[in-house]
Amino acid sequence: MLIDDIKNRIDIIELAKSEGLELKKQSNRIYKAKCCFHNETKASLTFYTDDPVNKRPNSFFCYGCQAHGDAINFYAKRHYSHLNDKEANREAIKELAGQLGFNLTRQKRRIGVVGDRTIRNNPQKEQLNRKEKDFTHPNIIYRALKEFCGELDQESYNYLTSQSRGLTDETIKKFGIFSIKDYKKTREFLLGKFSLESLKELVLFDSRNRFSFTKNKIILPVIEDGEIIALRGRYFDRGISDPDLTNARYSYPKYKSTAGVAEKLFNGDILKTLEKGKRVYLCEGEFDTMIMSQHGHNAVGVLGVSNYNDETIKRLNDFDLVIAFDNDEQGRKEALKISNIFYKQTEREVIREKLPDGIKDITELFILKAKQ
């Protein structure tokens, strides 16, 4: 079942962190944060990673406002609170499925319901419909979008080259970063050039026909074999890069993804250019990958700290691997998991980069060094 697949793939702790919540560990199974669904001074929003006593694994419960549920419910409440619960969950399922790379078309059942009548699809008619569908190759759509948008707008450029990010013009060009300058015009362009069905299949549009990157306007292409296979949008709106610092009516994630990012590596094509035995750094996210590359290191990145599987790590088996994840509990936990996978596959140890105390990630480390 699609819902079960999503729940099994999403770690609610990672999800909460990606939403900008500051979690405090209470035990190996319980984390707390100030509730993002109501105003409070005391942390009453509780996340359970594995709680067999209360039977609430991978779930949340707020002891202040009573908000509760699983990872899907959490995402729905964060992003679709203006809808009723059923509609909110439906939107959350579609968006999360797209981000995880699940094919929604294949997940549909062959039996549908119309009003009070259950109908069975005609296999021959279904086959004909599939032939008539116009699904344009993702690379064509993404390349057209990039060409339409052109270079970065000045505000996004200033942010990326600022002291907090430290990217150079060369790095921005190398990784093909662009920005959505006017999402309404961009929406019109896409709808005028491609079928809505294709755009929704890629999660460029949601099930309510809304463009995905209205606020996540700094676009980072994910490239494999020279083709853009997915897009990641970094939140940046009116000079603000942290969605939690806005007074927006609706909440937004720091990153939004199109379909196709599941278990992919950012900058993965570099692996095809390297000789066996070369040192490769595995980073957490795009920005750490880009800053490492900018400083002359061979670097690839996971698109989400736990967004990998055995096959992802297998791509790194021929190299001298260094894991450079964030300096937090989740980063250390996933680095250990990857170390074990790598050892089982190669019988070789990896190096786990240890950041100085108080330094949260690789980007911050390089920025600190630049100031010295």
Q: How far apart are CA 57 and CA 326, in angstroms?
A: 25
**Confidence band, pLDDT 50/70/90 cuts, at residue 82:** confident
CATH number of the domain residue 27 falls in: 3.90.580.10
Would you state the pLDDT for residue 14?
A: 85
Residue 269 and residue 243 share a domain = no
Would you state the pLDDT for residue 83?
A: 78
User: Does 310 have pLDDT greater than 90?
Assistant: yes
Choose the final residue of a domain: 52, 80, 100: 100
**Confidence band, pLDDT 50/70/90 cuts, at residue 161:** very high
- Pick the more confident residue, 247 or 305: 305
Q: Would 114 be classed as within a structural domain?
A: no
Q: How far apart are CA 202 and CA 73, in angstroms?
A: 23
Closest to 165 (Cα-Cα) out of 279, 287, 25: 287
Residue 247 and residue 144 share a domain = yes
Q: Would 55 be classed as within a structural domain?
A: yes
Would you state the pLDDT for residue 18?
A: 80
Residue 367 and residue 334 share a domain = yes
Tens of pLDDT along 232-268? 999 998 888 888 777 666 678 889 999 888 889 999 9
Residue type, 248: A
Domain boundaries, position 89: 2-100
Tens of pLDDT along 186-238? 999 999 999 998 999 899 998 888 999 999 999 999 999 999 999 999 999 88
Structure tokens at 212: 């995905």
Choose the final residue of a domain: 70, 100, 130: 100
Conformation bin of residue 359: beta by default, left when phi > 0, alpha when psi is -120 to 50: beta
Mean pLDDT of 73-77: 90
Q: Would 166 be classed as within a structural domain?
A: yes
**Confidence band, pLDDT 50/70/90 cuts, at residue 49:** confident
What's the sign of the alpha-carbon dihedral 7, 9, 12, 16?
negative
Q: Lowest-pLDDT range, 26-30, 111-115, 158-162, 176-180?
A: 111-115
Residue 218 and residue 237 share a domain = yes
Would you state the pLDDT for residue 78?
A: 86
Q: Would 113 be classed as within a structural domain?
A: no
User: Does 135 have pLDDT greater than 80?
Assistant: no
Residue 276 and residue 249 share a domain = no
- Pick the more confident residue, 49 or 100: 49
Q: Would 119 be classed as within a structural domain?
A: no
Mean pLDDT of 78-100: 82
**Confidence band, pLDDT 50/70/90 cuts, at residue 167:** very high
Q: What are phi and psi of 305, to 5 degrees?
A: -60, -30
Residue 290 and residue 239 share a domain = no
**Confidence band, pLDDT 50/70/90 cuts, at residue 168:** very high
User: Does 31 have pLDDT greater than 80?
Assistant: yes
Highest mean pLDDT among 13-22, 31-40, 102-111, 317-326: 317-326
- Pick the more confident residue, 112 or 77: 77
Q: Would 14 be classed as within a structural domain?
A: yes
Residue 231 and residue 154 share a domain = yes
- Pick the more confident residue, 251 or 164: 164
CATH number of the domain residue 237 falls in: 3.90.980.10
Choose the final residue of a domain: 50, 84, 100: 100
User: Does 51 have pLDDT greater than 70?
Assistant: no
Residue type, 145: L
Residue 231 and residue 275 share a domain = no
Q: Which residues pair with 59 in a beta bridge?
A: 48, 70
Would you state the pLDDT for residue 319?
A: 97
- Pick the more confident residue, 358 or 250: 358
Residue 315 and residue 234 share a domain = no
What burial letters (b/e) apply to 281-312, b meaning 16+ CB within 10 Å? Answer: bbbbbbbbbbbbbbeebbbbbbbbbbbbeeeb
Mean pLDDT of 168-197: 95
CATH number of the domain residue 350 falls in: 3.40.1360.10
Would you state the pLDDT for residue 335?
A: 95
- Residue 23 near residue 36 (C-beta atoms within 8 A): no
Residue 353 and residue 298 share a domain = yes
Residue 280 and residue 243 share a domain = no
Share of the chain above pLDDT 70, in %: 87
Would you state the pLDDT for residue 104?
A: 53
Q: Would 105 be classed as within a structural domain?
A: no
- Residue 37 near residue 77 (C-beta atoms within 8 A): yes
Q: How many domains does the chain have?
A: 3
Residue 241 and residue 313 share a domain = no
DSSP-derived pairing of the beta strands 111-114 and 255-257? unpaired
CA angle at residue 365 from 30 to 287, to 5 degrees? Answer: 75
Q: What are phi and psi of 18, to 5 degrees?
A: -65, -20
**Confidence band, pLDDT 50/70/90 cuts, at residue 125:** very low
Structure tokens at 348: 């070789």
Q: Lowest-pLDDT range, 27-36, 169-178, 228-237, 307-316?
A: 27-36
Q: Would 9 be classed as within a structural domain?
A: yes
Report CA Rg, the chain: 21
- Residue 34 near residue 5 (C-beta atoms within 8 A): no
User: Does 117 have pLDDT greater than 50?
Assistant: no
Mean pLDDT of 62-88: 86
